[in-house]
């Protein structure tokens, strides 16, 4: 298990927990800078997965046998652990496990949006949303007649809060905002947005996919009505994510999916629903993944989310500094010295992002190239695609230097 001193991460000891980082490609050691897409998995989480399948594997909530009881207790406790991880004092009843952030968004859009929205209603979101929220609200708007409005971003990639105040009115039913932008790295003032939304009797949904893994999150301090995240971006497995919802909202909403596990009583005419959160977890859930996501929360808490945030901000600032040395490189989002998430998207004049990513891959440097599921934002920025380097607890400044050296190669190839 990684240990840390009072201020900084003990990177060497953290890296020792991630066996995949030792992989080499073409004689070069992997430099993994695609963490905003998916983070790597540390040994304690891998061990939890292996141990679960070796010792505990069984279906939950059904069997009276010992294995099923052990699996049920571990799976249910995992909900409490994740609730606690993001500051939800209501425990498991406010923590629904989903497949990922995208499913959490859709759960709220279908279970709340389809029933509550109609012509004349408005959904206010931002120009920097990930498609998982943008497309979902856009389509729910089309189906219900509700109008979707977008809060502008300024030159530096910050939300224009005057515009937010203009757009959020008595007609607004839902404000939906990304906490940390996966393209710009902007950390949005979601608490302030929550206050504005609530002043107008609207709800707020926060997409925390890039926040929960990287900084301390307190959904009650934000006063979020709903808050979504993914396990695979926080050192956990794929196939699992979370949706926090205020209890009275989760109580009053219709289920999103129907079937086994989510019912209390069924007859041929009608059905009633199980307690929270099971009402929203139809069918056999991702049991092992849920338990492993709780192990990931333990792992991150042991390191300290405040230290993780500081480390990632330092790496982002260093990357900005290094990229700014080159006149032909344009970086996006808040400039140097401004608080931001641990990622930097950039564009090199004359080199397509996909070509660049391929050349970086030849150096075993893994980055993301494309629109990062924020196509309208890229349209607004006037670029078809960008290259994104995103950092996590095991990344170092030396790895950013490797990235910069590899960029030089790309530049020479395309010069």
Note the residues at the interface with ligand PLP (CB under 6 A): 36-37, 100-102, 130, 132, 178, 182, 207, 209-210, 230, 373
Cβ-based nearer residue to ligand PLP, 101 or 313: 101
Closest approach of ligand PLP to the CB of residue 184, in Å: 10
Cβ-based nearer residue to ligand PLP, 100 or 144: 100
Closest approach of ligand PLP to the CB of residue 385, in Å: 15
Cβ-based nearer residue to ligand PLP, 108 or 209: 209
3-state secondary structure 263-293: EEEECCCCEEECCCCHHHCCCCCCHHHHHHH
Closest approach of ligand PLP to the CB of residue 290, in Å: 15
Q: How many CA atoms lie within 13 A of 69 on its CB side?
A: 3
Pull the structure tokens for residue 368. Answer: 């993301």
288 is catalytic: no
Closest approach of ligand PLP to the CB of residue 5, in Å: 30
Cβ-based nearer residue to ligand PLP, 101 or 173: 101
Question: Is the backbone peptide bond immediately before 365 cis, with ω within 30 degrees of 0?
Answer: no
Q: Which of 292, 296, 341, 294 minimizes the C-alpha distance to 317?
A: 341
Cβ-based nearer residue to ligand PLP, 36 or 393: 36
- Active-site choice (222, 373, 400, 407): 373
Phi, psi of 98 (to 5 degrees): -125, -175
Closest approach of ligand PLP to the CB of residue 201, in Å: 26
Active site residues: 373
């Amino acid at each position: 298990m990684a240990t840390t001193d009072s201020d900084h991460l003990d990177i060497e000891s953290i890296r020792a927990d991630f066996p995949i980082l030792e992989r080499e490609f073409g004689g070069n050691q992997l430099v993994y800078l695609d963490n905003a897409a998916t983070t790597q998995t540390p040994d304690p989480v891998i061990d939890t997965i292996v141990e679960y399948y070796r010792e505990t594997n069984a279906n939950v909530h059904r069997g009276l046998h010992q294995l099923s009881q052990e699996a049920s207790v571990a799976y249910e406790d995992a909900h409490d652990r994740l609730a606690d991880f993001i500051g939800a004092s209501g425990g498991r009843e406010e923590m629904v496990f989903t497949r990922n952030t995208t499913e959490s968004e859709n759960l709220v859009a279908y279970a709340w949006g389809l029933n509550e929205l109609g012509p004349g209603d408005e959904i206010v979101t931002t120009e920097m949303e990930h498609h998982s929220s943008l497309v979902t609200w856009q389509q729910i708007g089309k189906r219900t007649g509700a109008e979707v409005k977008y809060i502008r971003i300024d030159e530096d990639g910050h939300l224009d809060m005057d515009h937010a105040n203009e757009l959020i009115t008595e007609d607004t039913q839902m404000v939906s905002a990304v906490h940390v932008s996966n393209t710009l790295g902007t950390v949005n003032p979601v608490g302030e947005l929550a206050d504005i939304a609530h002043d107008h009797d609207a709800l707020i949904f926060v997409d925390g996919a890039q926040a929960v893994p990287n900084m301390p999150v307190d959904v009650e301090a934000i006063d979020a009505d709903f808050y979504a995240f993914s396990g695979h971006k926080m050192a956990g497995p794929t196939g699992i994510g979370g949706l926090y919802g205020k209890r009275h909202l989760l109580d009053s909403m219709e289920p999103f999916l129907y079937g086994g596990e989510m019912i209390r009583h069924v007859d041929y005419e009608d059905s009633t629903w199980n307690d929270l959160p099971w009402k929203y977890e139809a069918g056999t859930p991702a049991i092992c993944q849920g338990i492993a996501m709780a192990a990931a929360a333990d792992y991150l808490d042991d390191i300290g989310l405040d230290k993780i945030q500081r480390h990632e901000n330092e790496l982002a600032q260093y990357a900005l500094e290094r990229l700014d040395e080159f006149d032909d490189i344009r970086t996006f989002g808040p400039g140097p010295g401004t608080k931001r998430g641990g990622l930097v998207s950039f564009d090199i004049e004359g080199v397509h992002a996909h070509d660049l990513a391929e050349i970086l891959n030849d150096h075993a440097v893994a980055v993301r190239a494309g629109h990062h599921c924020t196509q309208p934002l890229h349209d607004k920025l006037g670029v078809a695609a960008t290259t994104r380097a995103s950092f996590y607890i095991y990344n170092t400044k030396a790895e950013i230097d490797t990235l910069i050296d590899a960029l030089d190669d790309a530049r020479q190839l395309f010069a």
